[in-house]
Amino acid sequence: MENQINNQQNKDAKNMQNEENLKSKVLELIDRGKIKPKTKIYFSIKDKAFWSLVLVCTFIGSIAVSIIIFSFTNSESEFYQMTSDSYLNFILQIIPYLWVLVFVTFAIIGYENFKHTNKGYKYSFWLIVLAGLVINIIFGIVLHSFGVSKIIDQNLHYNNVFFRSSDSLKRVNWDQPERGVLSGEVVSTVAGTSTFILRDFNGDMWAVSSEYVPEVSKDLISTSSEVRVIGIIGTDFTSSTITLLPTSAPTTVSSSTMSRPTNISIRKVTACYILPWDSDDYVTGISKIKGSLNKDDLTERNISNKRNNSCRTVKSYNIIREMVELK
């Protein structure tokens, strides 16, 4: 029993000695490195700084999520067959890769900063990632519902920022003459004819005949500055003398009224359908065409007073025709 007591006393003495040695070493290191103790305010400011960075990263990540949502909801996926070879190809086209990269980058930065907060170390990696993802998605949906994503996307497009906007992607997709789809601005109409001049978003001119389109589609030529044309793209060119004015509204021109005529070579297009460019008006345009048809006989013959059987050879036309005539 006495031996046990002596052994315990020896152990306690050694522990005390070790503690003293440790204290001496720590003090020596502090003195050697000239380390000064930091105040509580320092750690408080540091913690708030990390939390601020977490909030900034969450906000930017939410913006990225909202624009990703906007890109998909504004992609008009129901018309993918008109502009893409397959649905997979269409999806790969509309993914805003740079915004995905922005989201991932700021998610990582946010995670690293959260770990350095006063309680961040307590949570597992997957719990932090899942919570961050849920928060970004919720706030992304909120921002999208308030139209923030649309405003940012439009500003990126009009300011020519290197980010690819949803609108610029649609312009590329709807500039495929080989598929029978064109889009652009109506810059003039030719007096006494059913032809108007379309300047596509690349600046090329097209002489579009609207003889075979529904009357409700013809109305768009005078009411919309930007339209989509679905039809037969000719391979021949016509030399036309027209006056192009810098106005948003189409201008009717004729040889007798031209003040500054311009002679240019233009490809001919036979329009089968004309629809608005704006996504919201696009759906309305389809509805108006449907409403103009005879309710008892929703057939192609009722779409226009005339019919061009050549339109049936255009895949894009048949897709739209099925949408319009769908009962």
Highest-confidence range of 48-52, 159-163, 187-191, 250-254, by mean pLDDT? Answer: 48-52
For 84, other C-beta atoms within 10 Å of its C-beta total 19
Rounded distance, CA 206 to CA 85, Å? 25
Residues 60, 298 contacting (CB under 8 angstroms): no
pLDDT score of 48 = 83
Q: Answer left, alpha or beta for residue 124, where phi above 0 means left and psi between -120 and 50 means alpha.
A: beta
pLDDT score of 77 = 82
pLDDT score of 255 = 36
Specify the range with the lowest mean pLDDT, choosing from 104-108, 194-198, 321-325: 321-325
User: pTM of this prediction?
Assistant: 0.69
- Measured in residues, the chain has a length of 327
- DSSP β-ladder status, 251-253 and 181-190: parallel
Rounded distance, CA 247 to CA 237, Å? 25
Specify the range with the lowest mean pLDDT, choosing from 1-10, 23-32, 129-138, 149-158: 1-10
pLDDT of 109-118, one tens digit each?
988 888 878 7
> What are the extents of the domains in the chain?
40-170, 176-325
pLDDT of 19-54, one tens digit each?
666 666 666 665 655 556 666 676 677 778 888 888
Q: Is the pLDDT of residue 143 over 80?
A: yes
16 or 184: which leads in pLDDT: 184
